Structure 1
């Protein structure tokens, strides 16, 4: 997420009242037709990136402004940090101001909208004017703040009329706004909301697993209040079928004037409307935990405490950050003890995550101490069990990580003719189930083994177009990352994991897969690298290999990308952002990258690095 390592969170951001005349890069989605004005419309330039501590304010229209100047000023006002777009509203007629909803959606273009002047032959003294803008679409942020990649050409228009006082004002405009990428990056920030996995259960005394739901809010316009309101409205539509919220339906902040901020104890009081008045203590604690997780990256140290209040001002419950850990968890809730890879003897070996001096050692059990040669492996999230793919890619074995452990018969066999047409690297989910793809062209399948054993379940993928070449299940167990190959092009896609009900307990489905790195024509490797972020290795058409972070919604988080590394074949990251990246490079073998450092060689002869999962 934006709040993930290297992302575009607002940690440590402070507001400074500095007036900056905003550059133009935003326009409403409009579609009107009339006669043009003779005024000159200069090029609309996207606002240069400002320091995150600088607040950008707009200027109202000046008397006698031409129609072109009204369009220009309106665009500039929309790129400002005006909380309620009040200055932008001054460029509109009274009737247009009453019906316009700038919060409906945001369309993001590659560059600021390019204005195209009206055709020649304007009738002198016309009281109606039309200006058109063009651009290339990149993404859309919907009414629930969800980001979605978009493409194609944008064509918008804005209609103006001259009032009786001879002042030009905009009278024709649809809902929502559109802006260039640089203005979007300056104005908006990505933050994770948190909900509970619908199919997850918390055993006695165990916290409930949560799922991150990234959204974009305006970075300098009371982001804490914005993100809590977004949390209360519920999950984004894509995630909604597999998560739940502990807030009763219809819960909102007490009124529209509420503004949330920490007090001198770093505690936030959240007054709710009457829909939450009757919740019990356990449910209230779950609600407070959702807020604490959601707010953890909006201040330098996170929020230490949340107090929920009824509509009449009385206390519902109080939950501290430490207390929230017993209610809700994100990721696995576990800190991986080791990193793993296949060594030169084709054994599964491990090395302590925080100890650079200790040499890798074979894992206990048959996959490390036995004679079985491997080409890939996966370790369960509790680090008690491992799965290994044989060196020829044909067989999948599962064994315990205990000294002297033995291997049973393979749990999966592939009939593919070549290594590349056989089994992928497996992946363990949050339920302790094992996933692997069989790339046999005659019978490509995505398989699921309950608890790593038994008859493999064929996962249904009716909406997936292509062959699965890699699979990584998120720690939350409801999202899966896939590299899908079709016609020589490989893409990174995120699918939603849905499971059958009690009447068909073994059914599993990948639903609504979506591309999250569409600019990459070849995706070589990927791994989860946070609650809502992945690290991806790939290349654009005609380009060189690159490594970058991407969000599950398809956006690119701001911040530093991983240092360049040549000829990367495999990459491993942990949802725990404090742990280093581990990669297999053809030139350098197994290498490791910690935050703020350069790649460090671990061993020359090694392949297939993985973290638990």
Structure 2
């Protein structure tokens, strides 16, 4: 799925500077506030190439901002673009790499300090958070660099002894020996792409996030996407998906004219079923491209496929029903009633709908999947699970725990026994339809897990463990295995809750000085504040992941903080009168608070 970075949320913006009139040798501290881009954009409002060295004139702050954008674009010219910002006598400090070895060190700028020196240079110290390493194949890998601060100097490019000429611009002295790229530049000069790989049993496509430079001509996009598919999935996703057969190669470049694209592959194993699956994979990896695809295998043409028709015939996710909202009210699950949204009947057997703390429901192959955390004796909790047609009977687990997180399901596209994930007393567990719980090993010894969420495709999970955010592929072959874990960088601290709000987007609760809720990309590159002052720690969070099968409802995020439930768009308190099938309290008695809201989809 091709879309603008930070789709549907408040965009990140660039650093703005402080005032003028600063004496020599003084310190200027510039906060990490972000303003608008440096120059006017292209036809779609975004530039494809970063600004030149002289675009900022003698403005130190604008120059640094542009320097942290200079590498953006196609990797084969990255060093050429960056060295134009570097003083001639310092160009050799950059160790030039070629081809697949080229990588951009993506950083989140947190602070910058300018010190004006007596020799007419300016020392710049920038404090950063390492976000990741952007590779030539469009993947953002975990950070390799560990620096939290970079220091370099600036000097005017005007000739010595001549009056200062703003048009001459500035130069960097003693630059860092890496290609730095700010997260803002990643947003501004790259297009987010979502390509897809089949899961291990080839029943579902799984998203994989990539970045394509805006400078790449549109006619080359098909070629770049096919090259990514041939090269295989991102490292962290690899355990849960399958790539194309070994030694698959692109024969010549993908070509296109008049909305017809030709892709020629040298691919072993010419099984027609696999070829048909590859056509579906390419169609979804070019998710907004209309026209026809002619796939050739060793120059042997397959029937021409209409891309839009293929996507319509082979949807990414099963089911076309809109999500329904539920909550827990005084120990029982009840549907919520919001104008313009469907409200469903209670799918549980009434006798089991009591003493409930939280729940996770789902739909799968005509069945309702229900998992509840039920209050036990002496403040303990246990898991109750059921799956089937409405009304669903529930089996209750026997083991009780001090605390259990909201349970989540691993969604499948067939009638295999349903499984889910849950956290109990700091340990991650898999559960089945009989409410049996089995420990799931993760490679984080002695670290407490506090939250888990699963993606719409059922092949990826997000975890909060040891106060940090992780994502991992899920493999369902012979049970459930997770990992290896990839840590996702975020500026939030004291993380408390997470869920999937899109194919490659998470919604995360934590602290940004105050309790806050952010939207964050699955690789951590892009984060957007959704609510910066929640007022209390978020203890429960549920979202409906945006996808192309069912349109997004209004306010597809609900949470609980300080015992009160809220919905988003706008952020409003969920009121008792929005809870269906409850008895009004006696006169003079205040109604209870809805809690633990969740979606059924």
TM-score normalised by L of structure 2: 0.69
**Aligned pair partner of 1:101 in 84, 91, 98:** 98
Q: Within the alignment, does 1:609 sit opposite 2:597 as a pair?
A: yes
Asked whether the 8 Å contact 2:189–2:214 carries over to 1, the reply is yes
Q: Distance in 1 between matches of 2:268 and 2:483?
A: 36
**Superposition deviation, residue 513 in structure 1:** 2.0
Secondary structure in 1 aligned to 2:230? helix
Question: How far apart in 2 are the matches of 1:285 and 1:53?
Answer: 38
Confirm whether residue 524 of structure 1 aligns to residue 496 of structure 2: yes
1:463 offset after TM fit, Å? 2.4
Give the counterpart of 2:216 among 215, 221, 224: 221
Aligned residue in 2 for 1:36 = none
Report whether the alignment pairs 1:181 with 2:169: no
Q: Kindly indicate whether residue 354 of structure 2 is the aligned counterpart of residue 372 of structure 1.
A: yes
Superposition CA RMSD, Å: 5.1
Q: Deviations over 1:12-54 (max 9, x none)?
A: xxxxxxxxxxx9xxxxxxxxxxxxxxxxxxx999962754535
Partner residue in 2 for 1:142? 135
Equivalent residue for 1:231, pick from 229, 235, 245: 229
Query: Are the counterparts in 2 of residues 436 and 446 from structure 1 also a CA contact under 8 Å?
Result: yes
- What residue in structure 2 maps to residue 252 of structure 1? 250
The answer to whether the 8 A contact 1:437-1:469 is kept is no
Question: Mapping of 1:310-349 within 5 angstroms?
Answer: 315-321=301-307, 323-325=309-311, 329-330=315-316, 332-349=317-334
Q: 1:249 to 1:447 in 2, by over 3 A?
A: same
Unaligned residue ranges in structure 2 (runs of 5+): 10-14, 16-28, 55-59, 154-170, 580-591
Tell me the equivalent position of 2:462: 481
**2:20 maps to what in 1?**
none
Write the distance in 2 (CA, Å) between the matches of 1:456 and 1:82.
49
Structure 1 CA distance for aligned equivalents of residues 503 and 330 of structure 2: 34
Gap change, CA 1:307 and 1:557, over 3 Å in 2: farther
* Structure 1 residue ranges without an equivalent (≥5): 10-22, 24-42, 63-67, 122-130, 159-168, 202-207
Deviation of the 1:176 alpha carbon? 6.7
SS in 1 for 2:450: strand
Match of 2:57 in 1: none
Between the aligned partners of 2:332 and 2:127, the Cα distance in structure 1 is 54
Q: What is the CA–CA distance in structure 2 between the aligned matches of 1:222 and 1:276, rounded to whole Å?
A: 27
- Structure-2 residue corresponding to 1:308: 295
Partner secondary structure for residue 494 of structure 1: strand
How far off is 1:347 after superposition?
A: 2.0
Shift of 1:374: 0.7
Is residue 70–residue 82 contact of structure 2 (8 Å, CA) maintained in 1? no
What is the aligned length? Answer: 519
| Whole-Å separation in 2 of the counterparts to 1:88 and 1:454 | 58
- How far residue 181 of structure 1 moved from its aligned partner, in angstroms, is 3.2
Mapped contact 1:523–1:538 kept (Cα < 8 A): yes
Q: Which of residues 200, 207, 210 is equivalent to 1:212?
A: 207
Give the SS at the match of 1:230: helix
Pair 1:538-2:510 in alignment: yes
CA deviation after TM superposition for structure 1 residue 214, in Å? 0.8
Deviations 1:490-538 (A, max 9, x none): 33322333456xxxx34x4332223325322222322111112111122
Q: What residue in structure 1 maps to residue 167 of structure 2?
A: none
Residue matched to 2:553: 579
CA contact (8 A) 1:102 1:175 kept: no
> Relative to structure 2, which stretch is displaced further, 599-608 or 72-81?
72-81
SS in 1 for 2:485: strand
Q: Which of 430, 439, 443 is the aligned partner of 2:424?
A: 439
> How many angstroms apart in 2 are the aligned matches of 1:478 and 1:239?
9
Where do 1:119-198 residues align within 5 Å? Answer: 136-140=128-132, 141-148=134-141, 150=143, 151-153=146-148, 155=150, 177-198=179-200
Q: CA deviation at 1:245?
A: 2.4
Q: How does 1:439-588 map to 2 (within 5 A)?
A: 439-440=424-425, 444-450=426-432, 452-453=433-434, 455-463=436-444, 465-484=446-465, 486=466, 490-498=467-475, 505-506=478-479, 508-540=480-512, 543-556=513-526, 561=530, 566-567=535-536, 568-577=538-547, 578-580=552-554, 581-586=556-561
Q: Is the 8 A contact 1:590 1:605 kept in 2?
A: yes
Counterpart CA distance in 2 for 1:320 and 1:369 is: 52
Change (3 A) 1:453 1:323: farther
The one-character-per-residue Cα deviations of 1:243-281 (angstroms, maximum 9, x if unpaired) are 1124653423614xx5x66x55xx4514335x2487344
Inter-partner Cα distance in structure 2 for 1:229 and 1:311? 16
What is the rounded CA distance, in whole Å, between the counterparts of 1:323 and 1:61 in structure 2?
47
* 1:568-612, Cα deviation, whole Å (9 max, x unpaired): 542222224413424144589554445xx6647444732222224
8 Å contact kept, 2:455–2:461 = yes
Residue aligned with 2:386, SS: strand
Q: CA deviation at 1:108?
A: 2.0
Q: In the aligned structure 2, how far is the partner of 1:524 from the partner of 1:482?
A: 10
TM-score, normalised to structure 1's length?
0.68
Residue 7 of structure 2 aligns to a residue whose secondary structure is coil
